[in-house]
């Protein structure tokens, strides 16, 4: 009886260990095949799409990027959205999530500083040479990203206030959910003009730089989301963005090296 009991125990242990080994191998295989999920601010849509291609070629791993306003993405992460990396358009959103324990400690890094442009549709009769032209009577509607959750919207509001234009144009303002949505409002003719990130100015619009002294520096930061099952790959992506190739790509889209505007 003792012998049978001993054999049964050994068999049970073997089965248990085999099951654990299989589960670990399965989890490893799933981790290898799972795409790296990035939550990225809308101003990054062109730069990060190019980075996505290069990173996938270099690592052989798939990347999936969700673009939206920084505030919307931050709220999603706060509510448990399973992203691996969060690239925000303003460092304050990263700091807030870090304080809440939603990000992996010590992974926060500055990766760029953004710039504003005043834009109008190329098919429009409106001619803009500076932000002051937004007060002209021919400009009926001005699109900016919602300042409540979009960093570029916050910066646009600051620029209008510091330029002494806010009271003159506030009744003309319409709000996009993000800078990408704001650009679409101008490109489709729903607004004669708008203020967006320089990084997303396309051939559909014509842009004029906004003096960076009219707003606080748009310091952009990123970090790894707490709970990720792909921390090593996530760290590799962050290193790519902040590395030589990533920084060169960002600068080609109108971003600046962190701290260069100070």
Over residues 105-141, the pLDDT tens digits come to 999 999 999 999 999 988 788 889 999 999 999 999 9
Backbone dihedral region for residue 217 (phi beyond 0: left; psi -120 to 50: alpha; all else: beta):
beta
Tell me: the pLDDT tens digits for 25-64? 444 444 455 899 999 999 999 999 999 999 999 999 999 9
Instruction: State the average pLDDT for the chain.
Output: 88
Domain segments of the chain: what residues? 34-113+219-252, 116-209
Decide if 34-113+219-252 and 116-209 have a common fold.
yes
How many Cα neighbours within 13 Å face the side chain of 165?
18
Q: Does 179 count as an annotated binding residue?
A: yes
If we measure between CA atoms, which residue out of 100, 84, 81 comes closest to residue 92?
100
Tell me: the pLDDT tens digits for 10-30? 444 444 444 444 444 444 444
Backbone dihedral region for residue 186 (phi beyond 0: left; psi -120 to 50: alpha; all else: beta):
alpha
Pick the CATH number of 116-209 from 3.40.50.2300, 3.40.190.10, 3.30.950.10, 3.40.710.10: 3.40.190.10
CA–CA dist 143, 134 (Å, integer): 11
Average pLDDT over residues 220-236: 97
What percentage of residues in the chain have a pLDDT greater than 70? 86
201 touches 207 (CB < 8 A): yes
pLDDT on residue 202 = 87
Q: Does 109 count as an annotated binding residue?
A: no
Q: Which residues are 223's β-sheet partners?
A: 86
Residue-by-residue DSSP string for the chain: -HHHHHHHHHHHHHHHHHHHHHHHHHHHHHHHHSPEEEEEEGGGHHHHHHHHHHHHHHH---EEEEEE-HHHHHHHHHTT---SEEE-SSHHHHHHHHHTT-B-TT--EEEEEE-EEEEEETTSS---SSGGGGGSTT---EEEE-TTT-HHHHHHHHHHHHTT-HHHHGGGEEEESSHHHHHHHHHTTSSSEEEEEGGG--TTEEEEEPPGGGS--EEEEEEEBTT-S-HHHHHHHHHHHHSHHHHHHHHHTT-B-TTTT-
> What is each CA distance from 90 to 57, 108, 114, 191, in whole angstroms?
29, 12, 9, 26
pLDDT at 229 over 90: yes
CATH architecture of the domain formed by 34-113+219-252:
3-Layer(aba) Sandwich (3.40)
How many Cα neighbours within 13 Å face the side chain of 170?
8
């Amino acid at each position: 009886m003792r012998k049978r009991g001993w054999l049964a125990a050994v068999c049970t242990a073997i089965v248990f260990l085999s099951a654990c080994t299989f589960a670990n191998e399965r989890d490893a295989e799933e981790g290898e095949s799972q795409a790296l999920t990035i939550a990225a601010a809308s101003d990054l849509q062109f730069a990060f799409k190019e980075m996505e291609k290069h990173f996938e070629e270099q690592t052989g791993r798939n990347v999936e990027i969700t673009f939206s306003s920084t505030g919307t993405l931050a709220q999603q992460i706060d509510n448990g959205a399973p992203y691996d990396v969060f690239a925000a358009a303003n460092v304050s959103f990263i700091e807030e999530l870090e304080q809440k324990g939603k990000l992996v400690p010590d992974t926060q890094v500055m990766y760029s500083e953004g710039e504003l442009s005043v834009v109008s549709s190329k098919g429009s009769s409106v001619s803009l040479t500076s932000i002051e032209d937004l007060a002209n009577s021919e400009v009926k509607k001005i699109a900016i990203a919602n300042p409540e959750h979009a960093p570029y919207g916050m910066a646009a509001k600051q620029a209008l206030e510091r330029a002494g234009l806010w009271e003159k144009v506030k009744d003309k303002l319409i709000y996009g959910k993000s800078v990408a949505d704001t650009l679409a409002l101008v490109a489709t003719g729903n607004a004669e003009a708008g203020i967006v990130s320089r990084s997303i100015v396309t051939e559909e619009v014509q842009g004029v730089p906004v003096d960076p002294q009219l707003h606080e520096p748009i310091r952009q930061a990123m970090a790894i989301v707490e709970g990720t099952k792909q921390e090593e790959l996530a760290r590799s992506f962050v290193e790519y963005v902040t590395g030589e190739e990533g920084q060169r790509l960002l600068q080609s889209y109108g971003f600046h090296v962190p701290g260069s505007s100070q």
